[in-house]
Amino acid sequence: MLKGNLTCEDISRLIIPYIDDKLSANKRNRVALHLRNCPFCMEKYRIIKSLFDSIKNKHLERAKKFRQYRLLSAYCDNEVSQYTKDKIESSLALSCDLVQRTLKINSLRKALNQTFEAKFANLELGLEKKVIERLKNDNIIYKIKNFFNN
C-alpha cells in the first residue's frame, strides 16, 4: 500500500505497469501527478514509453504483413471469395511489391509440386496384393474366432 506522495524510487517500480495501464485509478493518478512535477521521472517515462511504442508498432507491422501474406497465400491456392479475389487483383495492378510476393509464393509451389512429382514418378510399391492378402487372412481369423466363440 502506497502512502503519501510517491518517491522517484516508487515511480521506477510503477512506470511499466503505468505504461501497460495495469494500475488502479488511484495509483494511476498519483503516478501522473508525480510525473507532472518531476522532470527527471518524466524524461525516464518518455524514453521507456517510446521504446515500448516502437516495439508495439513493430509487432503490429509484422502482424499486418503476415495477414497480407496469409491472404496472398490463400489467393494463390484459389481459396478466397470472389470479392476478395477481385480486391487482391486490383491491388496487384498497383503494387510491384505485392506482385513479387505473389510470384515468390507461386514459384515455391511450382518447385514443390515438380519435386514431388519427379521424386515419386517411377516408384513402384506393389503393396495392393499384400494388403488384400492380409485382409483375407484377417477375415479368416475373424471367422474362426467367431466360430469357436459361438
CA 6 to chain centre: 41
Is the CB of residue 33 less than 8 Å from the CB of residue 65? no
Under the binding rule (CB under 8 A), the answer on residue 134 touching other proteins is yes
Q: Which three cell numbers stand for residue 143?
A: 471367422
Cα 68 off chain centre by: 12
Binding piece for other proteins, criterion CB under 8 A, among 13-21, 43-51, 73-81, 82-90: 73-81
Among 132, 140, 141, 144, binds other proteins (CB under 8 A): 132
Nearest CB to other proteins, comparing residues 89 and 138 = 138
> Which of positions 2-21 make contact with other proteins (CB under 8 A)?
none
- CB-based contacts of 88: which residues, under 8 Å, 6+ apart? 71, 72, 75, 80
Question: Are residues 35 and 45 in contact, defined by beta-carbon separation less than 8 angstroms?
Answer: yes
Subset of 112-131 contacting other proteins (CB under 8 A): 112-113, 115-116, 118-123, 125, 127-131
Give contact residues for other proteins (rule: CB under 8 A). 66, 69-70, 73-74, 77, 79, 104-105, 107-109, 111-113, 115-116, 118-123, 125, 127-132, 134-135, 138
